[in-house]
Amino acid sequence: MSVFIAAAPDAIATVLARQPKVRALLDNSRLFLFAINDSNSGRTTHRYAGDLAWEVLS
């Protein structure tokens, strides 16, 4: 399952750091998380890479 959130990756990581069960689902590749640019473009900008790290998408 893929989850898309319109927020900055750092803000999402802050929440994940406080939610170990949700983070475990992401770190174990049970869920895939993407950050969407919250401007009008709605472009997917980052993919969660695990361990609170993000990969920039081009």
Kindly report whether the global pTM for this prediction surpasses the value 0.75.
yes
Q: Looking at residues 27-55, what average pLDDT do you find?
A: 93
* Dist. CA 26–CA 17, nearest whole Å: 12
Residue 41: the pLDDT is: 79
Owning domain of residue 15? 2-56
% of the chain exceeding 90 in pLDDT:
88
Beta strand residue intervals within the chain, DSSP E:
2-5, 32-36, 44-50, 53-56
**Number of domains forming the structure of the chain:** 1
pLDDT tens, residue by residue, 13-35: 999 999 999 999 999 999 999 99
Structure letter (DSSP) for residue 25: H
Residue 39: the pLDDT is: 72
Which structure tokens are listed for 49?
A: 């890479």
